Amino acid sequence: MAAVRPLRPMPQPINTAEISERRGRFEAPEISLIVPTYNERANVALVVEKVATALAGLRWEIIFVDDNSPDGTASAVRAMGAADARIRCIRRVGRRGLAGACIEGMLASQAPFVGVMDADLQHDETALVPMLEALRDGEFDVAIGSRYVGDGSADDGFTKTRLGASKLATTLTHRMLGIQVSDPMSGFFMLRRDIVDQVAGDLAHEGFKILADILASARGDLRVKDVPYGFRARQHGESKLDSQVAIDFLGLLISKATHNIMPVRFASFLLVGALGVGVHLCVLKAGLSLADMSFSRAQIIATLVAMTTNFWLNNRLTYSDSRLKGLAAVRGLGVFYLICAVGALSNIGVATWLYSSQAHASWWVAGFFGSVIGAVWNYALSSTLVWKR
Ligand X SMILES: Nc1nc2c(ncn2[C@@H]2O[C@H](COP(=O)(O)OP(=O)(O)OP(=O)(O)O)[C@@H](O)[C@H]2O)c(=O)[nH]1
Could you tell me how many residues of this chain bind Mg ion (CB under 5 A)?
3
One residue of 29, 36, 228, 251 binding ligand X per CB under 6 A:
36
Q: Which contiguous run of DSSP H or E holds residue 261?
A: none
First to last CA, the chain: 48
What is the C-alpha to C-alpha distance for residues 173 and 210, in angstroms, rounded to an integer? 12
Verify binding: residue 101, ligand X, rule CB under 6 A: yes
* Span near ligand X by CB under 6 A; candidates 8-16, 234-242, 257-265, 338-346: 234-242
Asked if 313 and 275 count as a contact pair (C-beta separation under 8 A), the reply is yes
60 binds, options Mg ion, ligand X, none, Cβ within 5 to 8 A by partner type: none
* Number of Cβ atoms within 10 Å of the Cβ of 18: 9
The three-class DSSP label of residue 34 is strand
Rounded to a whole number of angstroms, the minimum distance from the CB of residue 117 to ligand X is 8
One residue of 43, 109, 122, 146 binding Mg ion per CB under 5 A:
122
- The closest alpha carbon to 101, from 144, 143, 62, 64, belongs to 64
Rounded to a whole number of angstroms, the minimum distance from the CB of residue 241 to Mg ion is 7
Query: Which string of x and - marks every residue 179-218 that binds ligand X (by CB under 6 A)?
Result: --------x--------------------x----------
* Span near Mg ion by CB under 5 A; candidates 41-49, 118-126, 203-211, 287-295: 118-126
User: 48: alpha, beta or left, given left = phi > 0 and alpha = psi -120 to 50?
Assistant: alpha
Verify binding: residue 120, Mg ion, rule CB under 5 A: yes
Kindly give the residue spans of alpha helices, DSSP state H, lying in the chain. Answer: 16-23, 41-54, 73-83, 98-107, 128-136, 160-177, 193-199, 210-217, 243-257, 264-289, 295-313, 326-355, 363-381
In this complex, which beta carbon is closest to ligand X, that of residue 29 or of residue 157? 157
* Span near ligand X by CB under 6 A; candidates 92-100, 142-150, 214-222, 278-286: 92-100
Q: Residue 113 carries which DSSP code?
A: E
Verify binding: residue 118, ligand X, rule CB under 6 A: yes
Q: Which residue is nearest to ligand X (CB)?
A: 239
Contact set with Mg ion (CB under 5 A):
118, 120, 122
Contact set with ligand X (CB under 6 A):
36-38, 40, 65-67, 96-98, 101, 118-120, 122, 157, 187, 208, 234, 239-241
